[in-house]
Structure 1
Amino acid sequence: MAKKTIKAPNEAFTGSVAGVRFEDGVGHTDDENAIAYFERQGYGVSSEPAKQPGDPDAKYPAGDPSDKWKKDELLAYAADRQIDLGEAKNKDEIWAAIKPGGTPYKGVTTPDGKALVNDSTDPKDGEVKDQQSLPVQ
């Protein structure tokens, strides 16, 4: 598996989690089990290199978008991924148009459009469920 950039929920975190070293909230790994754990726990996981301070080409941080991103970062992310923002104009409306499925669960979508997720906090729990069967929070 290719090396992934992991972005911790706490941007100031420096330390180790699941065998991955983080500096200022960013770590890197190619360990599939660690990547699966981070995805379930809501960490940003991306193949893109992390945004470096002073990097003029970085339009937005690595990983999944969050409501902590600035409006310009959300707009650049949406443009790169061809996400239709509809009539969204302010940051909150743009975030609402981008956020994945409006659900706290992380998962994947099958080719036929079925959302499969793992809602467990246990890193060894590999059970995948149909998102439709999960409670709305």
Structure 2
Amino acid sequence: MNRYKIEAPVRSFTGESVGVRFTKGTGYVDDSTKDGRAALEYFRRHHYGVALADEQTEEERAQELVTGTPTQRGPAATPADLFDPSKHSVDEVLAHLDTADLDEATRVLDAEAAATKPRVGITSKREDILAAKGGTGQ
């Protein structure tokens, strides 16, 4: 499961969009459910800022203070364990995506899209790759 920080185009937005709660233009969603993955695809299509979240939300920090129990997010792979598309050719990335599950394909495609110079040979195939893996493909 990956958690994503979503930045709304309107930075003052507080409310709900596609089932995700936003406060002052920022919301969080994870890709562990079909609804979460669909929301991520919606946000990407509508030019929201989408980035992997590596920090706690305000709600998680508050919960830790109230309960005294750290928020559990499940085991996370270390960066060294993850396939890094920037260290591979387009053909190698596409070969990896052919064998990857939906979560891994989404993660790799997100990493490629977030690169300083995303490669069109990969990013242009996003919809087809995700659709083939059972994602929304949009």
What's the TM-score, normalizing by structure 1? 0.40
What's the TM-score, normalizing by structure 2? 0.40
Higher helix proportion (structure 1 or 2): 2
Higher relative contact order (CA 8 A, sep 6+): 2
Higher strand proportion (structure 1 or 2): 1
